[in-house]
Copies of this chain bind each other. A is one copy, B any other.
Amino acid sequence: MSATIHSVAERAGVSVSAASRALNGRFKGARGDAMKRAEAVRKAARDLGYTPNSVARGLVMKKTFTIGFIATELSNPVRAKLIEDLRVRALEKGYQLLTAGVQYGDDISGALDSLLSRRIDGLLTGNISGNLGPLRNLAARGFPLAGFSHEKANAWDTVFLDYSGLTRGLAQHLIKNRGLKRVIFGGPRSNYPRSLGYTKAIKDAGLEKYGFCLDCHDFSMPGGHALAERCAAMCPLPEAVVCHNDLLAIGLMAGLRAVGLKVPDDIAVTGMDNIEMASYTNPLLTTAGVDSPELASLMMDFLFARIGGEHAFPRRVELTGKIFIRESCGASQEKNSQSF
C-alpha cells in the first residue's frame, strides 16, 4: 500500500541503495551529476507520498532513535512538566520519547520489557522503587541508563536531588524565622528523604515532643484534603504542617478552609516540588524544588553520553534546589528565594 524505497528508486530510475543514500543525504563531493540524481529521487519520493519506514530502518540499524522514560505518577504536574522538558531535549537530538508509567512499589518488569522489546536506545528512570534488579543488570551490561533519584548511591548515572535538605530547610524556616514549635509532617511515615529532612530539622531544634506525622500515602489533592479533618481534630492545633508535595499541600489547604481554619493564620502549610500552580494558589504556596528544564538537560546529557558509546562507572551530579517562601507559611517575604 504505502510507497517503499523500492518504488521510489524504480520511479527515479536508480537502485535502492542510491535512493537510500540520496534520501539520507550522503554525498561527499557535490558533483552536479549526483546532485541531480538525488533531486530526482527526492521528487519521486514526494510524488509517491513516500514515508520512510523507521521500523525497517530500526531493524537493520539496530537503533530506533527512541528513548524510554519510566516513572511513577505520570500525571503529577511535576512529572508532566519533566516529561515535556525531556521530550524537547530528545527531539533536539532527533529522538522520540516513549513513556511508561508504573505504580509505587509495583513490579516494573512489565513496563520495562515493553520498552525494551521496542528496542529503545536508552532509558531514563524517574522515582521508581521496588525491585531494581533488572535495571541494575541493564546498567551492568552497558545499556544506556540515566535517571534522577534521592538515593545517595546508584548503579547508573543519576542526578541527585536533595529533597531531604529541602524539607529540612522548609521546616527550619518555620521554626527559626517564624518561631513555630508545633510543626508536623503531612505525608507517608517512611524513610523517604522528604520526611527525613523534616525529622532532622525537628531534632536539631530540640522539638521532638512536638514532632508528629499525619500519615498518608496518597500524595494527591484528595489525599491532602482528607488530612484536614484529622489535622483540625488535633489538640492543641498544630501551628504548621510540612507536606510531602505540593499537591498534598494544596488539597490540605482546601480541606482546612472547608473546616473553617485559615492558612496561614491558624495553620501554616508548606509544599514541595514548586509546581507552577504553587504560584497561583490562595494563599500562595511556600514550597521548594529544582528547575525542571535543568534536570531534564542533566539527565539527557548523561544518557546521550552513554548512547554515544561512553563507558564509565556510574556517575552522579547534584542538582541544587531552591526554597520559595510565599504566603502559606505566613512569613514576611524578606528572603524570597533561597538556594539550598
Instruction: Please report A residues at the B interface, Cβ cutoff 8 Å.
Output: 51-56, 58-59, 64, 74-75, 77, 80-81, 83-84, 87, 96, 98-99, 101, 113-114, 116-119, 221, 225, 250-251, 253-254, 257, 276-277, 279-284
What residue in chain B is nearest A77 (Cβ atoms)? B77
What residue in chain B is nearest A81 (Cβ atoms)? B75
CB-CB under 8 A from A99, the residues of chain B are 99
Question: In the complex, what's the smallest C-beta–C-beta distance from A92 to chain B, in angstroms?
Answer: 13
Query: Knowing that A51-B113, A80-B80 are A-B contacts, what are 12 other residue pairs whose CB atoms are under 8 Å apart, sorted by A's residue number?
Result: A51-B116, A53-B119, A54-B117, A55-B58, A74-B84, A77-B77, A96-B118, A225-B280, A250-B277, A257-B282, A277-B277, A281-B281
Once the chains bind, are B51 and A55 in contact (CB under 8 Å)? no
The distance in angstroms between the C-alpha atoms of A54 and B59, with both chains bound, is 9
CB-CB under 8 A from A74, the residues of chain B are 84
User: With A81-B75, A84-B75 as given contacts, are A56 and B59 in contact (CB-CB < 8 Å)?
Assistant: yes
What residue in chain B is nearest A88 (Cβ atoms)? B101
The distance in angstroms between the C-alpha atoms of A96 and B99, with both chains bound, is 9
Query: DSSP class of A's interface residues: helix, strand, loop or mixed?
Result: helix
The distance in angstroms between the C-alpha atoms of A250 and B281, with both chains bound, is 8
CB-CB under 8 A from A81, the residues of chain B are 75
User: With A59-B55, A119-B53, A282-B253 as given contacts, are A114 and B101 in contact (CB-CB < 8 Å)?
Assistant: no
Total copies of this chain within the assembly: 2
Residue of B54, B119, B251 touching A280 (CB-CB under 8 A): B251
Once the chains bind, are B52 and A117 in contact (CB under 8 Å)? yes
Question: In the complex, what's the smallest C-beta–C-beta distance from A278 to chain B, in angstroms?
Answer: 11
CB-CB under 8 A from A87, the residues of chain B are 101
CB-CB under 8 A from A284, the residues of chain B are 254
Question: In the complex, what's the smallest C-beta–C-beta distance from A329 to chain B, in angstroms?
Answer: 16
The distance in angstroms between the C-alpha atoms of A101 and B84, with both chains bound, is 9
What residue in chain B is nearest A282 (Cβ atoms)? B282
CB-CB under 8 A from A59, the residues of chain B are 53, 55-56, 59
Once the chains bind, are A96 and B96 in contact (CB under 8 Å)? no
Question: In the complex, what's the smallest C-beta–C-beta distance from A236 to chain B, in angstroms?
Answer: 25
Task: Return the 9 tightest CB-CB contacts between A and B, nearest first.
Answer: A282-B282, A254-B280, A54-B117, A55-B58, A80-B80, A75-B84, A51-B116, A55-B119, A221-B280
Question: In the complex, what's the smallest C-beta–C-beta distance from A340 to chain B, in angstroms?
Answer: 25
Once the chains bind, are B221 and A54 in contact (CB under 8 Å)? no
User: With A80-B75, A84-B75, A98-B98 as given contacts, are A250 and B53 in contact (CB-CB < 8 Å)?
Assistant: no
The distance in angstroms between the C-alpha atoms of A113 and B280, with both chains bound, is 38
CB-CB under 8 A from A253, the residues of chain B are 280, 282
Once the chains bind, are B221 and A276 in contact (CB under 8 Å)? yes
The distance in angstroms between the C-alpha atoms of A84 and B116, with both chains bound, is 21
What residue in chain B is nearest A142 (Cβ atoms)? B1
Question: In the complex, what's the smallest C-beta–C-beta distance from A282 to chain B, in angstroms?
Answer: 4
Residue of B56, B83, B96 touching A114 (CB-CB under 8 A): B96
